[in-house]
Homo-oligomer: A and B are copies of this chain.
Amino acid sequence: MERPRHQGMAKNTYMRWRLPLVCLLWEVAMIVLFGVFVRFSPEADAHWEEEKQELNLTSDMENDFYFRYPSFQDVHVMIFVGFGFLMTFLKRYGFGAVGFNFLLAAFGIQWALLMQGWFHSFKNGKILIGVENLINADFCVGSVCIAFGAILGKTSPIQLLVMTLFQVTLFSVNEYILLNLLHVKDAGGSMTIHTFGAYFGLTVTRILYRPNLEQSKDKQGSVYHSDLFAMIGTLYLWMYWPSFNSAISEHGDAQHRSAINTYCSLAACVLTTMAFSSMLQKKGKLDMVHIQNATLAGGVAVGTSAEMMLTPYGSLIVGSISGIVSTVGYVYFTPFLESRLHIQDTCGIHNLHAMPGLIGGIVGAITAAAATEDVYGKEGFIKAFDFTGAYQTRTPSVQGGFQAAGIVVSLLMAFAGGAIVGGILKLPVWGDAAAENCFEDEVYWEVPEDEESDVYHMHNPDKPASP
């Protein structure tokens, strides 16, 4: 009989021509645009030998590659393994979690190299890319991975690609407003990546609200092994977050400091998460959902301030608070958002990225406003906030105000952008599955028909036993 799958077909999840067409067209567009615009930065160009002499550099070590490449690789792991595996907790959506994350991120980084390139690395008609551009492209895509978390299991790969296209564009505009127009500091992206990405995703999932989602409720949970796969994602995000927050900070002390602050914040966050996970459970048992997610809130919450003189104990405080807020969010806010506001947030990105992102923005504003020449040193003060040129008269408290404005702008961009993109994704042409087939890999993937899988298919008893 196979009713569920027929209904899925009724919604036409057939991808055979649509998905290839979108992928190939966009890749061709990328090739053309890269051909017209993208070239190597001087440090990656074979002319570097001459560049070195001009700049009087005595060592190849001065090439930015050596300052940032190890952090780049860590960030790269966070985007593809970290986010990808974090979302494999669903019992029957592991292929979609890892695979679609892979697809959207691979497309997104190409488009981000262009979009961010036009805003930040455009010179004589060409975008000149180096390792820092690669990191920024990964960062930008990170915000899409975050939004993906809200709609995980409920969208087709084409919808994800469309969302990526728009979100990367909006991200780049928002980032340009914050970093260039408001002259805001946000090296770890509490505002640009997390606040923007999360509220964007939450708005999209609100617009795509599915009233009958309880039909696939049996698949919204985890199984024992899928929780362990998810922990791979969690741990790589947790371990490499110091690299994330320090990857594009200034050379020297700023990178060093960012890593230390983030390390401290994350360590504290684990303890408060464990405490509240146990405390908020009648039986006092720990919940893997919290351990997989809320332990990371500490990294989000120092995203803006990690490169500032937040100090290690400041980081512990921020990390502790964000672990609590995030865990409480999973227990109380997520059900509320779903039942009252019709926001179906599969991974709980409101708890892991949205609220900690806001905390991060606020902590950044306060830390900036509280900066003094005494704490930073005269030169360090100017360097830390880039108070040069047009900004050389800006005071810390004014900077704090602009930082706060950055939060507001990010929120507005996220809500407006999410609403528009959500509306586009609601069009009935993208091949998303019916409610009863959500969170199910079989809709878009060839799933191995093996003995083991029988156990999973209790909802589909008419299916013939596998050979």
Q: A interface vs B, CB < 8 Å?
A: 14-17, 19-21, 23-24, 26-27, 30-31, 34-35, 38-40, 43-50, 52, 59-67, 69-71, 73-74, 76-77, 80-81, 84-85, 88, 91, 94-95, 98-99, 102-103, 106-107, 109-110, 113, 129-131, 134, 157, 218, 221-225, 227-229, 231-232, 235-236, 238-240, 242-243, 251-257, 259-260, 263-264, 266-272, 274-276, 278-279, 281-288, 291, 295, 309, 311-313, 316-317, 320, 375-381, 383-384, 444-448, 450-453, 455-456, 458, 467
Contacts and interface: CB of A to CB of B under 8 A. Distances in A.
A157 B45 CA distance: 46
Contacts of A291: 99, 102
A224 to B, nearest CB: 6
Nearest to A269: B106
Contact of A252 (B34, B40, B60, B239): B60
B448 A106 contact: no
A98 B235 contact: yes
Contact of A377 (B43, B47, B76, B272): B47
Contacts of A52: 252
A81 B232 contact: yes
A43 to B, nearest CB: 6
B455 A452 contact: yes
A281 B131 contact: no
A252 B52 CA distance: 10
B23 A272 contact: yes
Contact of A44 (B48, B69, B113, B257): B257
A288 B70 contact: no
Contact of A451 (B110, B243, B458): B458
Given A16-B278, A70-B69, A286-B445, A316 B31 contact: yes
B73 A70 contact: yes
A313 B377 contact: no
B446 A286 contact: yes
Contact of A224 (B64, B102, B453): B453
A106 B267 contact: yes
Contact of A228 (B26, B59, B64, B94): B94
B73 A243 contact: yes
A277 to B, nearest CB: 9
Contacts of A257: 40, 44-46
B131 A264 contact: no
Contacts of A38: 311-313
A17 B279 contact: yes
B19 A445 contact: no
A294 B31 CA distance: 19
A271 B107 contact: yes
Contacts of A309: 40, 45-46
Given A63-B256, A103-B271, A450 B221 contact: yes
Contact of A253 (B14, B45, B221, B282): B45
